[in-house]
Structure 1
Amino acid sequence: MAPEGDVDHADSRIRFSKIVRTLMGALMGLFGNAHTVDPSSAQRDYARLLGNGEQVYAAYLLVRDTILFTDRRLVFVDKQGLTGKKVEYHSIPYRSITHFSVETAGHFDLDAELKIWISGSPAPIEKTFTKGVDIYEMQAILTQFVAR
């Protein structure tokens, strides 16, 4: 137990971080920045990324980034820099996903979280979603493709 008057700085930082995440999530939700994208629209927009016959099953827009669930893989489209002209495309075959978890939003924490572990990588890929995305639907889609 810490002596009286001592402040546990780690706990304070964690609480502050959660408050900031909650506020940012609320702001993003108010401005409608996290939402689903029509799969046929994503199919057209990202046609150059897709293999022959590959179909977009679901797509989600997170501020400037996009997540594509195709019938073959998961694609993270990460727009970088101030202009977003530089883009990183992170392609993950479903067979490389060892496991995943979802954390639903709560009363005060408005964000839902998705964590995906890839074989050969100890740290998960983490994505945060505001109320505009149905995290249960996303989990069902991942389950459908990962469990093949």
Structure 2
Amino acid sequence: MIDFSKDTVFKLNPCDPRDLAPTVQPIIIPGEQIISSFKAVRDFVVFTNKRLIAVNVQGVTGKKKDFTSLPYNKIQAFSIETAGTFDLDAELDLWFSGLGKVRLEFRGNSDIRQIGQLIATHVL
């Protein structure tokens, strides 16, 4: 499992979900759809209509991958912080039952409000 105890796990940029779909498709369940995706240098996060999937690409070759599934129904609270003038990154904090706080950091060109609405739609 990814170590979410770090202050920031990923610095993410928006990317085309079709680019990452082949990697996560084997763990997608019937009726689950990829909604959006964000990528760091090698690691990435996929938001589906049921959960958040965080993928940590490991090793020199990148063949080994850690898939962490974070279901929306386990979120107890969440917070979004938009990018500012000098702080160009936006943040999403999620508090999961049994796991604690998970923080994802997004580059300023990410629409953090849209991500917040996605989470709210499935949590509230």
Aligned-CA RMSD value: 2.1
1:49 to 2, 5, 27: 27
* Length, aligned pairs only: 115
Query: Where in structure 1 do 4 or more consecutive aligned residues deviate above 4 Å?
Result: none
How far the C-alpha of 1:49 sits from its partner, in A, is 1.5
Instruction: Determine helix, strand or coil for the equivalent of 1:131.
Output: coil
Instruction: Determine helix, strand or coil for the equivalent of 1:136.
Output: helix
Percent identity among equivalent residues? 37
Amino acid of the residue matched to residue 65 of structure 1? Answer: D
TM-score when scaled to structure 1? Answer: 0.67
Instruction: Determine helix, strand or coil for the equivalent of 1:46.
Output: helix
Alignment of 1:1-148 (within 5 A): 34-121=12-99, 123-147=100-124
Higher relative contact order (CA 8 A, sep 6+): 2
Amino acid of the residue matched to residue 129 of structure 1? Answer: F
Give 1:13's aligned residue: none
In terms of fraction of residues, the more strand-rich structure is 2
How far the C-alpha of 1:110 sits from its partner, in A, is 1.2
Could you tell me how far apart the structure 1 residues matched to 2:61 and 2:89 are?
26
In terms of fraction of residues, the more helix-rich structure is 1
| C-alpha distance 112-87 of structure 1, shift in aligned 2 (>3 A) | same
Deviations 1:79-122 (A, max 9, x none): 2344433321110111101111111122211111111110123x
| C-alpha distance 133-82 of structure 1, shift in aligned 2 (>3 A) | farther
Amino acid of the residue matched to residue 143 of structure 1? Answer: A
Gaps of 5+ in 1: 1-20, 22-27, 29-33
Gaps of 5+ in 2: 1-7
Instruction: Determine helix, strand or coil for the equivalent of 1:124.
Output: strand
